[in-house]
Structure 1
Amino acid sequence: MLRKILAVVCGIISGSLLVGLIEQINHRLYPFPKGFHQDDMVAFKEYISALPVTGLLMVILGYALGAVAAGFISTKIAKSGKKTYALICGGIFLLFTIYNMIVLPTPVWFWFLGIAVWGLVLVGYQLALQKNNIR
């Protein structure tokens, strides 16, 4: 049981690290305005609204890489061959993504991709099965 909990926690951590890394790269490409404070929600919404499509696609790329990593790591640690742990990670990330899309201004296409991309935890799951020969 502890291994299964650890699998989900490590999946979430690895996915979060990749999402954060891509978002840091995105902030270097599209820096915050001078005097910007991330705790100012109005300013943050303005920043998101002004991001070009490529900036929003970078966020989706981060989600995609995070999903694959979470699915891979959770499956590898769980060592059960079940996709349950990858799906739990994907579900948790999906909830956070939906929350972000509700509070931040995002276009409709971002909603579709932002929701669909978390299905990539199953790609990570499959990669872990192939690498470990767990079946």
Structure 2
Amino acid sequence: MIRRILAVVGGIITGSLAIWLMETLGHYLYPLPKGIGPNNMAEFKEYVSNLPFPALLLVIVGYALGAVVSGFISTKIGKDGKNRYALICGVFFLLATIYNMVVLPTPIWFWILGIVVWILVLVGYRLALNKKTI
């Protein structure tokens, strides 16, 4: 039972780190304007609504990386070959993504990719099952 919980927690933590790394890169490439902080929601929404396509795509790439990493790590920790840990991680991140898309102004293509990308937890799951991987 503990291993199952740790599998999901480990997948969520490592997936979050992967997303954070990509979003940090995005903030480096597309920094917040001076005087605007992420705690001021009105200003932050304005910033997000004016982001160029590559900046938003970088967020989707971060989600994709997070999905694969969380699926992989949760499966490796689970050690029973079942995809349930990856799927639980995927549902968790999907709900968080939907919340973010509701709160922040994002275009329709971002909504579509932001939802579909979480199926990539199953790619991480499959990679974890491959005996040739780490």
TM-score bin, normalised by smaller chain: over 0.9
Counterpart contact for 1:14–1:70, Cα < 8 Å:
yes
Normalising to structure 1: TM-score of the pair? 0.96
Q: Distance in 2 between matches of 1:118 and 1:131?
A: 23
Q: Distance in 1 between matches of 2:51 and 2:94?
A: 22
Task: Identify the residue that residue 40 of structure 1 maps to in structure 2.
Answer: 40
Q: Which amino acid aligns with 2:81?
A: G
User: What does the per-residue CA deviation read over 1:47-74, in whole Å, with 9 as the maximum and x for residues that have no partner?
Assistant: 1001000000000000000000000000
Query: Structure 1 residue 28 and structure 2 residue 28: aligned?
Result: yes
Relative to structure 1, the CA distance from residue 65 to residue 28 in structure 2 (aligned partners, 3 Å threshold; closer, same or farther) is: same
Tell me the CA shift for residue 18 of structure 1.
Answer: 0.5
Counterpart contact for 1:76–1:132, Cα < 8 Å:
no
Tell me the CA shift for residue 127 of structure 1.
Answer: 0.1
Q: CA RMSD in A?
A: 1.1
Task: Identify the residue that residue 127 of structure 1 maps to in structure 2.
Answer: 127
Instruction: Percent identity, please.
Output: 66
Task: Identify the residue that residue 70 of structure 2 maps to in structure 1.
Answer: 70
Q: Distance in 1 between matches of 2:30 and 2:131?
A: 37
- Residue segments in structure 2 that go unaligned for 5+ positions in a row: none
Q: Distance in 1 between matches of 2:5 and 2:38?
A: 32
Q: Distance in 1 between matches of 2:6 and 2:57?
A: 31
Tell me the CA shift for residue 37 of structure 1.
Answer: 1.3
Runs (4+) of structure 1 moved beyond 6 Å? none
Q: How many residues in Structure 1 have an aligned counterpart in Structure 2? A: 133
Normalising to structure 2: TM-score of the pair? 0.97
Task: Identify the residue that residue 13 of structure 2 maps to in structure 1.
Answer: 13
Counterpart contact for 1:30–1:55, Cα < 8 Å:
yes
Q: Distance in 2 between matches of 1:98 and 1:113?
A: 11
Q: Distance in 2 between matches of 1:109 and 1:25?
A: 21
